[in-house]
């Protein structure tokens, strides 16, 4: 009996433990399900989403700013690189110009030109000293103008060499090269130079808007090639009396620095598209202002120290030259004989004993149709007509008679016009009035007879 009762008790304990085990399993399962559902149903906070969006926008803006900064830095680097390239190009062009000048000097020494002869004569003292270098500004399309100048006031061949050797006067046409170096334009100039030998070639690209740069390079090159007292620039459509020009410059030879020409002052043009437009007009003050006083561009001369101070270039080359001399201790000389009009103006002045240095038409900034008319100007205003030659007594007597009769003209109108021209020269501020019956001039010495020998340069 005891044994059976013990067996029943043991089996009941096992049954209870199994039930509790199942119950605990179910409870754990339910609690697990409950906990799992709460985890899945937890909503995401709205603030976190908004914060994430704002941060994304901030990151996007920062990225855009960085891109802009990078682009600005790239543009700045490109600009710096461009400036460095331009500076390097200028340096290279200057070195090439100096090299070309050195080669020209070496060639002149080897070929026995007047420059080399001067060098041989002076030995170790350096270059020969010349009175003046005349650079005639010309262009590729101006062949007829050059031929007309050669046929009138510019000596050719042996006469030009004699002028260089005996008088110390160098005369050259000044021109650069075309945009396509070695092209048909350059070859045409080379062929013309072989024929006449009267060119000074510059390391410069030709163009009307580059006249200031061309003038600057011309002076720098001329100073390198020739040691002269004066350097002259003249246009190829202007008539020049070389001897009278030399006589004029000799008077100022002992002055340290001079700037000689017909001084003028014109309006600063700020309208685009017009002739003589000045892009840097704002540097001259308010609209409507005028340029500072400067020599007109048809012809001017500067002393030997002038070319050392060629600086900033304006659009107009005569204004650029005037600006270079503003800050210098240089004497500005206004000589109206450097800007006479074409006949009858220059002719009347020559007959009155006041031979013009240069003649041109203001309306054309040179002689109008110069290739056709410069011969007439030379025939009527050339200095050779008023200078006697000792070997020709007949011509000498004729010129003496011409000089004597220049103040006793047959026609009263011609006499009065000559008097008016003389008054304008002596008294620029006065306006001469031609009286219908003028027996005597207002100027005391107008009726004095001038010896033709005084007209010699």
Secondary structure (DSSP) of 138-195 = --TT-HHHHHHHHTTTS--THHHHHIIIII-EEEEEEEEE-SSTTSHHHHHHHHHHHH
| 417 Cβ contact partners less than 8 Å away, ≥ 6 residues apart | 344, 348, 434
Q: How confident is the model at residue 1, as a pLDDT?
A: 47
How many Cα atoms are found within 13 Å in the side-chain-facing hemisphere of 159?
Answer: 9
CB atoms near residue 339 (< 10 Å): 23
Residues 357 and 415 in one domain: yes
Residues 143 and 292 in one domain: yes
Residue 25: inside a domain: no
Residue 406: inside a domain: yes
Residues 289 and 369 in one domain: no
- For the chain, helix, strand, coil in percent to 5 are 55, 15, 30
Q: 3-class DSSP state for residue 449?
A: coil
Residue 158: inside a domain: yes
Backbone angles phi, psi at 407, to 5 degrees: -105, 5
Residues 284 and 180 in one domain: yes
Residue 306: inside a domain: yes
Residue 17: inside a domain: no
Q: Which of 66, 82, 111 is the last residue of a domain?
A: 111
Residues 351 and 331 in one domain: no
Q: Rounded distance, CA 304 to CA 258, Å? A: 9
Residue 6: inside a domain: no
Burial of 443 from C-beta contacts in 10 A (0-12 / 13-18 / 19+): middle
Q: 3-class DSSP state for residue 442?
A: coil
Count structural domains, the chain: 3
Q: 3-class DSSP state for residue 124?
A: helix
Residues 228 and 329 in one domain: yes
Residues 419 and 441 in one domain: yes
pLDDT tens, the chain, 457 aa long: 444 454 555 555 555 577 777 778 878 877 777 666 555 554 554 444 455 666 677 676 666 666 555 555 666 665 676 667 666 666 665 666 666 555 555 554 444 444 433 333 333 345 689 999 999 999 999 999 999 999 999 999 999 999 999 999 999 999 999 988 888 999 999 999 999 999 999 988 888 767 878 888 898 899 889 999 999 999 999 999 999 999 999 999 988 888 899 987 777 666 576 566 666 655 555 565 666 677 888 899 988 875 555 544 444 555 556 555 555 556 778 888 999 999 999 999 998 889 999 999 989 989 999 999 999 999 999 987 666 444 444 444 444 444 444 334 444 555 556 666 666 666 655 554 444 333 333 333 333 433 434 434 4
Residues 287 and 359 in one domain: no
Residues 380 and 251 in one domain: no
Residues 83 and 186 in one domain: no
Q: Which of 290, 308, 339 is the last residue of a domain?
A: 339
CATH code at 164? 3.90.550.60
Q: Which of 288, 312, 339 is the last residue of a domain?
A: 339
CB atoms near residue 407 (< 10 Å): 19
- Domain enclosing residue 101, as ranges: 48-111
Residue 37: inside a domain: no
pTM of the model: 0.56
Residue 10: inside a domain: no
CB of 342 closer than 8 Å to CB of 373: yes
What CA–CA distances, in Å, run from 338 to 41, 47, 128? 104, 89, 27
CB of 215 closer than 8 Å to CB of 320: yes
Residues 264 and 377 in one domain: no
Please name which of 356, 234, 341, 211 lies closest in space to residue 298, comparing C-alpha atoms. Answer: 234
Residues 335 and 438 in one domain: no
């Amino acid at each position: 009996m005891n044994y059976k009762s013990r067996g029943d008790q043991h089996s009941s304990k096992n049954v209870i433990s199994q039930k509790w085990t199942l119950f605990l399993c179910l409870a754990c399962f339910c609690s697990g399900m409950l906990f799992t559902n709460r985890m899945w149903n937890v909503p995401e906070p709205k603030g976190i989403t908004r914060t994430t969006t704002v941060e994304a926008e901030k990151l996007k803006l920062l990225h855009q700013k960085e891109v802009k900064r990078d682009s600005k830095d790239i543009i700045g680097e490109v600009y710096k690189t461009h400036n460095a390239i331009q500076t390097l190009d200028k340096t290279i062009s200057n070195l090439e110009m100096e090299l070309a000048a050195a080669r020209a000097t070496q060639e002149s020494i080897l070929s026995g030109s007047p420059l080399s002869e001067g060098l041989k004569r002076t030995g170790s003292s350096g270059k020969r000293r010349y009175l003046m270098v005349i650079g005639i500004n010309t262009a590729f399309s101006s062949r007829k103008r050059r031929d007309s100048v050669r046929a009138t006031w510019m000596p050719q061949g042996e006469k030009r060499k004699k002028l260089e050797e005996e008088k110390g006067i160098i005369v050259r046409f000044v021109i650069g090269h075309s945009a396509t170096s070695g092209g048909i334009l350059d070859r045409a100039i080379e062929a013309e130079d072989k024929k006449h030998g009267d060119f000074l070639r510059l390391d410069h690209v030709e163009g009307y808007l580059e006249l200031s740069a061309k003038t600057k390079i011309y002076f720098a090159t001329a100073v390198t090639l020739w040691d002269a007292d004066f350097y002259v620039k003249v246009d190829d459509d202007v008539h020049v009396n070389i001897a009278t020009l030399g006589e004029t410059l000799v008077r100022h030879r002992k002055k340290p620095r001079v700037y000689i020409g017909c001084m003028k002052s014109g309006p600063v043009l700020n309208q685009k598209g017009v002739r003589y437009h000045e892009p840097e007009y704002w540097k001259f003050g308010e609209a409507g202002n005028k340029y500072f006083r400067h020599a007109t561009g048809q012809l001017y001369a500067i002393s030997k120290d002038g070319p050392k101070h060629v600086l900033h270039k304006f659009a107009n080359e005569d204004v650029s030259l005037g600006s270079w001399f503003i800050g210098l201790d240089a004497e500005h000389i206004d000589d109206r004989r450097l800007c006479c009009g074409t006949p009858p103006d220059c002719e009347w002045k020559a007959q009155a004993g006041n031979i013009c240095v240069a003649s041109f038409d203001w309306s054309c900034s040179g002689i109008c149709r110069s290739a056709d008319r410069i011969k007439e100007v030379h025939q009527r205003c050339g200095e050779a007509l008023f200078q006697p030659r000792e070997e020709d007594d007949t011509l000498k007597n004729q010129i003496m008679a011409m000089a004597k009769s220049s103040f006793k003209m047959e026609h009263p109108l011609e006499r009065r016009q000559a008097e008016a021209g003389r008054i304008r020269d002596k008294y620029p501020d006065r306006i001469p009035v031609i009286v219908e019956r003028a027996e005597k001039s207002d100027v005391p010495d107008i009726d004095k007879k001038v010896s033709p020998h005084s007209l010699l340069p």
